[in-house]
Amino acid sequence: MKKLMLGLTLVLMLFAAGSAMAGSSEQTVYRFKTETLDGKPIKLSHYKGKVLLIVNVASKCGNTPQYKGLEELYKKYKDQGLVILGFPCNQFFSQEPGDAKTIQSFCTLNYGVTFPLMHKIEVNGDHKDPLYAYLETVYPGDIEWNFAKFLVDRHGHPIQRYKPKTQPEDLTSDIEKALAQK
């Protein structure tokens, strides 16, 4: 009986310690690493304290003109702490077939994009980027199309998901609220 009680006590202590440890390692976007469009590794913790808008983008999509609105948001709010991260994605009818140089050139020449573009990723399926796998644990469901958007607060927590057809200017109020939070 003593051995049984000792064993149960030990199990309960290990469980309690594990629960406490799990609570201390907060789940945020900051634990992920990615690469810039030109292949340089970057940790998302580089953006701590910033409000992030994470968008899967494409250059041959009906939503491509949203680049203009995204750039306008970035220019308007970057000095207040907004960073837009564009992740090119070729999963939807091959709407982003270009290499990094082609993507950068297209975005710069056609839309004057200055916000950071990351490397091409997959947002659904077996090869889904780990960041998107995490985002979908917070806001479940596959990404429907290019230009789906996730707003992330200054602490690295996703706070809103937007459909691909949601226009960038329709995010203004949510972005301003997120920027106002410290």
* Residues facing 158 on adjacent strands: 152
Domains and CATH numbers, the chain: 28-180 (3.40.30.10)
Q: Give the Cα-Cα-Cα angle 61, 176, 113 (nearest 5 degrees).
A: 35
| Alpha carbon distance, N-terminus to C-terminus of the chain | 54
Report pLDDT for 182.
Answer: 86
Query: Is 107 a catalytic site residue?
Result: no
d(CA 54, CA 85): 5
131-160 confidence digits (pLDDT tens) = 999 999 999 999 999 999 999 999 999 999
Catalytic residue of the set 55, 61, 113, 117: 61
Confidence of residue 180 (pLDDT cuts 50, 70, 90): very high
pTM: predicted TM-score of the whole model, two decimal places: 0.86
